[in-house]
Structure 1
Amino acid sequence: MPADAETRDAATNADPSSGTDTAAALDAVAEQLYGLLPDDFVGGRDAAVTEARARGDRELAKAIGRLRRPTKAAWLANLLARHRSAQLEGLLGLAGGLADAQRTLDGAALRQLTAKRHQFVAAMAREAGRLAQEAGDPAAESVLRELHGILDAALARPEIAEQVRSGRLTRSLSYTGFGPEADPDAVPMPAPRPPAPPREVPEAAEPSAELDADAAEAAERARIERLRAERERREEALAQAEDEEAAARARQDADEAAREDTATARDEARSRVAELTAALDAAREQERAATAAARDAETAAKASLRAAGVAATRTARARARLEEIETL
């Protein structure tokens, strides 16, 4: 899925009823995240998820969580889209001429444009390397070769060009096809050759020359058919690979959403456990205080009982002495 399309789909899937606000907020976050270094992307995304969740916007938090960390080569392409957009458009502008030359089998134009494409792609890759160096994350030669593949793919397929223009590419792309399909009625256009000096050709050679021309034309048609068949085979393999990738990404998105939901449920459960633990601790403290108070009250009651017994004994003795006097 294209990087910018993935961002839009994440917003749409997050909450269809609040599409505009969520999409705008997600777009702003994505614009910031895809400007970070690749190693800083996950930390920045997690911080944005936490911030959105703290505001109570769980749908936006889920959508941000689905944003993918760019590969190093994709990040280089994003640097070009953000900081060298005019030069990038100049490179992508070759796509139309390349497509026309391929469709019309104009060999001379195709060779000229191909050479220019190689020069532009190499120059853009070098510029991306300089931008990466300035950003503090130098790119290895292998990564620059991946960037070559991305730019070549962007020249071959308009949808890939749009992904590159977005500045939010997430993965390395390559294209191994043969470009646009040639027109059925197109005739191969060989490179212009200097005129050969006139020479006399025996009349008997003319039928042989015509046969050679027919054989060359038949061989060229066979070559084009082989290329078309090979292109169709590779396009079918690419379509199958893209379908498998789309299915894998759909599973990944579902798993990410499930992970987010289970993480939220876990946090809520932990919060509830903390509340119940605090309540239990308070109840136990109340129990200890009540037990101590009951123990003190029991001790006081026993002391009072003893004091009452002593007082009763004294009263009985006093009464007996009084009665003794009255009998005298």
Structure 2
Amino acid sequence: MQRKGGRRRDAGEQDVEAVLDELYTTPPPDFVSRREERAAAARTAGRAQDARRIRAARRPTRAAWAANLLLRSRPEESRRFLELGQALREAHRTLDAAGLKELSAQRRSVVTALSRQAAQLAAEAGHHLPEPALREVEGTLRAVLADPDAAGRWADGRLEGSLTPPSDFPAGTAPAPVETARARQPSRPAAKHTPAGKRGGDELAERRRKRQEELARAQETAQAAERRADERRAARTDAEETLRRARGDRDRARAQVSLAERQLRAAREELKRAEAERRDAEERNRVTGEELSGAEREAREAARHMERLAARVRR
């Protein structure tokens, strides 16, 4: 297997890439524990650099996870979707109105269909996508169609947060040429002869358009706020997991210190007893040595006395 630059990966690199792919399709509530398991396994295997890469992975939002899951679980549909995005961007670039209109109709239906598939995959994994998260999935898919950078990020399958489509991507038709737009604008004198009903209808349509724009902006603001909140929740979960692990390490270290202190106290007591026994043994050795010396003197004196008596008897 090779990287994009053409250099071949070794076995360790293949392992860490597979682990990262797995992590970003792991349901967010299970992400941190799975990440720690995989990082610990890499450290145990002596792959410290891989362990650091795994540990650096950040928990995706629920919408980003669903988008990653969609890419991995529906590879053929995802490939066609990326190709649709390329065709849409090309039609917009060349101002191909007919092609853009046809492709935009496909865009709406495909985004809706893939968003539903993402929601279904999430539900099958045991996690329902709330409405705000589903809207973020739809926004991510629209961004993939409109922005080649967003398409590349989604194609990697490791989104941490949802993507936002650019505001200048066409809604359904190519932008009209400047000359045509100007030709359609009524001149100021002509506006004076516009019927009152027509002017009222235009004003109502303009107010509706402004309200729709305000609603769209409010929806984007709400989605961005929800996305930020989801990212903060993910960061909080990471921080809580790090704190829990640090507390566990501290408790284990305290237990080891306590055990070592108990062992040290026991060893010191044993040393005291051994020192006392040594002193007693030395005292006994000294006493018995003195007693032995006395007994040996008595034995020598008794032997000499016996020899003197024997000499008298022989006379």
TM range, smaller chain:
0.5 to 0.7
Give me the whole-angstrom Cα distance separating, in 1, the residues matched to 2:28 and 2:74.
Answer: 19
Secondary structure class of the residue paired with 2:164: coil
Say whether residues 1:28 and 2:18 are aligned partners. Answer: yes
Specify the alignment match of 1:103 in structure 2. Answer: 93
Secondary structure class of the residue paired with 1:48: helix
Q: 1:70, CA displacement in angstroms?
A: 1.9
Contact 1:106–1:188, Cα closer than 8 Å, also in 2: no
- Alignment of structure 1 residues 1-328 onto 2, 5 Å: 20-105=10-95, 110=100, 113-179=103-169, 281=264, 284=268, 287-288=271-272, 290-291=274-275, 292-305=277-290
Q: 1:93, CA displacement in angstroms?
A: 3.2
CA spacing shift, 1:310–1:82, aligned 2, 3 Å: same
- Structure 1's unaligned 5+ residue stretches are 1-7, 10-15, 191-207, 210-251, 253-258
- Structure 2's unaligned 5+ residue stretches are 182-188, 191-234, 236-241
CA spacing shift, 1:85–1:187, aligned 2, 3 Å: farther
Spell out, residue by residue over 1:199-236, the C-alpha distance to the aligned partner (whole angstroms, 9 max, x if none).
xxxxxxxxx89xxxxxxxxxxxxxxxxxxxxxxxxxxx
Give me the whole-angstrom Cα distance separating, in 2, the residues matched to 1:50 and 1:294.
Answer: 53
Q: 1:83, CA displacement in angstroms?
A: 1.5
Give me the whole-angstrom Cα distance separating, in 2, the residues matched to 1:39 and 1:150.
Answer: 21
Number of aligned residues: 243
Contact 2:16–2:54, Cα closer than 8 Å, also in 1: yes
CA spacing shift, 1:87–1:322, aligned 2, 3 Å: closer
Contact 1:105–1:188, Cα closer than 8 Å, also in 2: no
CA spacing shift, 1:50–1:283, aligned 2, 3 Å: same
TM-score under structure 1 length normalisation: 0.55
Give me the whole-angstrom Cα distance separating, in 2, the residues matched to 1:129 and 1:31.
Answer: 20
Q: 1:128, CA displacement in angstroms?
A: 0.8
Q: 1:105, CA displacement in angstroms?
A: 4.7
Give me the whole-angstrom Cα distance separating, in 2, the residues matched to 1:19 and 1:284.
Answer: 56
Give me the whole-angstrom Cα distance separating, in 1, the residues matched to 2:86 and 2:298.
Answer: 123
TM-score under structure 2 length normalisation: 0.57
Q: Which amino acid aligns with 2:77?
A: Q
CA spacing shift, 1:33–1:120, aligned 2, 3 Å: same
CA spacing shift, 1:112–1:81, aligned 2, 3 Å: same
Q: 1:77, CA displacement in angstroms?
A: 0.7
Contact 2:147–2:166, Cα closer than 8 Å, also in 1: no
Give me the whole-angstrom Cα distance separating, in 2, the residues matched to 1:87 and 1:309.
Answer: 108
Q: Which amino acid aligns with 2:284?
A: T
**Same amino acid, percent of matched pairs:** 34
Contact 2:95–2:175, Cα closer than 8 Å, also in 1: no
Spell out, residue by residue over 1:248-282, the C-alpha distance to the aligned partner (whole angstroms, 9 max, x if none).
xxxx9xxxxxx9xxx9xx99xx8xx98xx69x959
CA spacing shift, 1:58–1:97, aligned 2, 3 Å: closer
Q: Which amino acid aligns with 2:61?
A: T
CA spacing shift, 1:136–1:189, aligned 2, 3 Å: farther
Secondary structure class of the residue paired with 2:72: helix
